[in-house]
Amino acid sequence: MGSIRLCTGTNGLLRLVLVAAVAAASVAESVEAQGVYQGISNSVLTAGVGVSGTENGSNAAGRFFVREAGATGGTLMRLPIPAVPPRLATPGSYVTIRIDGGTKPLVPPATVQTEKGWDLIFGDVIAGTLTAAGAWLVQPTVSGNRIIATWRTLPGAIAPPLNIPPIEVDLVMSIVYDVVSYEFKVRNMDTVPHSVGLRFAQDFQVPGSVDGPVIAPGAGTIFRETDIGAGQIPPFWRAYDGSNARTVGATLSSGATIPNRLTFGDAETVLIPLWAFTPNPARDFTGTTVSGASGVYFSEVLVPGQTTGPTFRTYFGRNHATINFGPQLDSGVDGPLSLTFDSAAPAGSQLKPDPFEVKAFARNHVGINLTGVRATLTLPEGWTTPGQNLTSAPTTVVNGETAEFTWSVKPAGTASGRLSYTVSFSSSEGPSASVAREIDIPALPVQSFPVLQQVSFPYVFADDSPAVAFGLSNLDFNLLRWNQTQGQYEAVSALVPGEGYWLNNLTTAPINLVGATPVSSAGGQYEIRLKNGWNQIGNPFLLRVRWGDVLVRDRDGVEAPLPVSVAGDLHHNWILPTFYPYNTAHNGNPASPPYFFSGLNDDLVPFQGAWVKSLKNSISLIIPAPIGRSASVNRTAVQERNSATNWAMRLMVTGSAGAASTSHIGLSTTASDGYDLKDIEQPPPFREGLLVSLVRDNWGGRSASYVKEIQAASGGRKSWKLRVSSEAANQEVVLSWPDMGIAPRSYEFYVVDEATGHRQMMRQTSSLRVNTGDSSTRSLTIVAEPKTAAGAFRFTNWRVVSRGPSSATIGFVATADANVRIRIMRGSGSAVRSLVTRAVSSGSETQLNWDYKDAKGVSVPAGAYTIELRGSTPDGQSATVIIPHIVVR
């Protein structure tokens, strides 16, 4: 760990005092830095890049640093660190320029490059053998509020025939509130094309804390070495100190060039190799004796000779604010990501800090000065800014400069959950912007509940009996919990954090919890013990917890706790990896699905209960205390795009009084015909009623009822067993398939009634009416039959056989049930006669006779004719065959 102290230098340059805190030895060593640096600052950050000299045995040139502004500000991005056994020396934060596929550095006694490609450090003036490989064309220089520089390779540095290609890289650095903008522009000065890529190795540090864990939308909490590939790159990442107030992180979208790869790991494994990185999933980079680092990779791009190539842009810094990088204005909002709850404070004043500060900024890069610039704050209902206007006084923002605005906000203390506020910017010249920021409000003890909801209570109660804790009569509510042993619901006698319940609130008034104290997060986690089968659980804390950050422990095993994603895989089979919160929209709209099928990137929300299925009787969930979050994160799982080999469609059952139930079937190239993680089990219903289930009784330990069954897109016949259940016997219900249009036309779909054997083509109609009978259930099967010729309807074995001068026989086979029309035409194309339009069956040979007469019954003269077969299927496919024929008299 370390911090940097800026000292006055000569000629506008910065010299640094590096304070290296060596946690392993529990001592601090202060050494005078020898490197010379250029730096820029604002009210939040100081950032710079090395010009020349050395730093702890490494080049200072091309090494980057970022620190918090002010005399007590901590380091966010580190310079080279000396070796303190057992820790190795690390080369600091730098950019690798990869040319033509890269290569390993030279290893003495070798002095000649033996591979074509190159991995060189931007700004470096030495290669692996101390041979100069590059030089500043323009030394880092402060220009206004930016640092500009140009570095170039030295083609003659290594003996021919493998000279380094002549590549130039421009750097532009600037500070946008609490992040540093880095732009690298590549130029190929050679006469032949070269591929060029970049890696920005960032030795990051959380001030006053260990280096992590890292919080990244979609990737969750990262504390072990991790490699994230293209298509999965999060929009940003942050690491927090214990108070969530001091952060470090990077923005990887919203104005940035989205990288092709993002890595996290120990500084030794990330920084020492110039490009290569192989993560060790067991290696933790968040301890007091280790150091965290990240690698931001931009894959090689082929740059033609004598051509300027791409510009790679990325942002790094405190990264606490929400920033929109716009074409005219960079604008942002900063404030707490969450508030805390003080149960000892009076009601209405329990949210802390109260007030809290909201800062906003607008950076002008329109090209002209902007006048009349105003910022307007829009707050959640009831929140105020005592003594301040929500709209600021107008100001002028000079081109290239930044205006900042501040409000002191008092939260209302009534609403909880994830709220948002917005700052809008306007100017007299027209450029404007708007930035929304989310804030997590702890789950307050006053809550409004729908008539029916699956709930939990993140509090410990002085009296945990429900009526006392709710401040209600037992007649005002029903509170039930699933008993796995008895397979039924039972009344709840005591409220326990981490448990889930069904609450039927018979009042319309909010429930004001009595004697409620938040669950302590001092231990950093909370354990929920599960039983084999379905369990109702809830978040025991006042803020959201990502499901993918929950750990699973086998109390009877010796394995360490595992993430849900691992404990739920097919190897461990400890738990289903999905949790099921109730969809309250189902209360007013029975056609809405009763549950959300929530995955790793979804949150356990305070006061919201959910189903979880344990596959063993010795499983516990370890819920981590909230340590920070990713603001403005869409937690919706990414859906696969429907295609011929990846699709899913609904099967809906509706009954009287609007009752409805839904299941999903489909195919995927990443699914199997047996159980896999794409198949979703059906949790217990809250009450008896209409239900449609996909039944799998041949899957061994995974035999169960499912709400989603996705089979392998491997060709061949597919089938799904369907069970429709009703509360009462002999109920008339309608099974429908509203998404048939997305199902591939390479299959014909049928619904088969197992009781009667009736088989109906699903493309011919949109629904089927059935009766649930005396048993209140009806079994159906959905069958998908592949069509021939990759799904194309066609005619086969067609022929015309002359029977002499008076007639001919026309024969053919249709590959699907179809209506077929046969026409006779002259060689000129005019119609002679339409023989017939008739339905034919798939695979059966059809024969028709033409008596050589036209539509008027007159014999046609000898000559050339054509016979047209035209067919159409119920699902809209068509086929045509033209057969030439000679009539001989």
- How big is the chain, counted in residues? 889
Distance between CA atoms of residues 356 and 332, nearest Å: 17
Q: How crowded is the C-beta side of 223, counted as CA atoms within 13 Å? A: 12
For residue 245, pLDDT over 80 is answered with: no
pLDDT value at position 727?
Answer: 86
Query: Within 13 Å and on the Cβ side, how many CA atoms surround 870?
Result: 10
Mean per-residue pLDDT over the chain, rounded: 87
Measured CA to CA, the distance from residue 846 to residue 820 in angstroms comes to 10
pLDDT at position 635, please? Answer: 31
Reported as a single tens digit per residue, the pLDDT across 826-881 is 878 889 999 877 888 888 899 999 999 999 999 999 999 999 999 987 766 778 89
pLDDT at position 637, please?
A: 33
The three-class DSSP label of residue 106 is coil
The DSSP secondary-structure symbol of 281 reads T
26-30, 499-503, 834-838: range with highest mean pLDDT:
499-503
Q: How far apart are CA 325 and CA 349, in angstroms?
A: 36
- Report the candidate in 777, 783, 795, 806 with the shortest Cα–Cα distance to residue 842: 795
pLDDT on residue 646: 87
Phi, psi of 596 (to 5 degrees): -90, 135
Higher-pLDDT residue of 866 and 161 is 866
Per-residue model confidence (pLDDT) at position 841:
84
Task: Check if the beta carbon of residue 691 is closer than 8 Å to that of residue 590.
Answer: no
Is residue 17 very low, low, confident or very high in pLDDT (cuts 50, 70, 90)? very low
The reply to whether omega before 161 is within 30° of 0 (cis) is yes
Lowest mean pLDDT among 50-54, 402-406, 500-504: 50-54
| pLDDT, position 13 | 47
Give 827: exposed, middle or buried? Use CB within 10 Å, 0-12, 13-18, 19+. exposed
pLDDT band at 642 (very low <50, low <70, confident <90, very high): low
**Residues 6+ positions from 734 with CB-CB distance below 8 Å:** 653, 654, 655, 767, 768, 769, 770
pLDDT band at 113 (very low <50, low <70, confident <90, very high): low
What secondary structure does DSSP assign to 408-476, as a single string?
EEB--SS--EEEEEEEEEE-TTS--EEEEEEEEEP--SEE---SEEEE---EEESS-SHHHHHTS-GGG
Residue 129 reports pLDDT greater than 80 = no
Residue by residue, DSSP assigns 466-517 as HHHHHTS-GGGEEEEEEETTTTEEEE--S--TTB-EEEEE--SSPEE-SSEE
pLDDT tens per residue, range 559-593: 889 999 899 988 899 999 999 999 888 777 776 77
Predicted TM-score (pTM) of this structure: 0.75
CA distance 221 to 212: 9
- CA dist 359 and 365 (Å) reads 20
Instruction: Find the range with the poorest average confidence among 151-160, 191-200, 395-404, 699-708.
Output: 151-160
pLDDT by residue (tens digit) across 583-640? 888 777 776 778 888 888 899 999 999 999 999 999 999 999 986 553 333 333 334 4
Mean pLDDT of 54-82: 91
pLDDT of residue 325: 93
Residue 267 backbone phi and psi in degrees, to 5: -60, -35
| Residue 472 scores a pLDDT above 90 | yes
Question: Residue 709 above 90 pLDDT?
Answer: yes
When pLDDT is cut at 50, 70 and 90, the band that residue 369 belongs to is: very high
pLDDT of residue 128: 46
Tokens 């099921």 correspond to what residue?
Answer: 580
- Name the nearest CA neighbour of 332 among 178, 409, 435, 181: 435
Task: Tell me what pLDDT residue 267 has.
Answer: 94
Mean of pLDDT values over 697-706? 89
Which residues, in sequence order, are CB contacts of 435 under 8 Å at separation 6+?
A: 322, 323, 324, 331, 332, 333, 360, 422, 423
Residue 24, pLDDT score: 27
Q: What percent of the chain has pLDDT over 90?
A: 60
pLDDT of res. 876: 64
> What is the amino acid identity at position 714?
S
DSSP string, 19-60: EEEETTTTEEEEEE---EEEEEE-SSEEEEEEEESEETTEE-
**For residue 873, what pLDDT is reported?**
79
**What pLDDT is recorded for position 177?**
95
Strand partners, 374: 426
Residue 23 has pLDDT above 60, yes or no: no
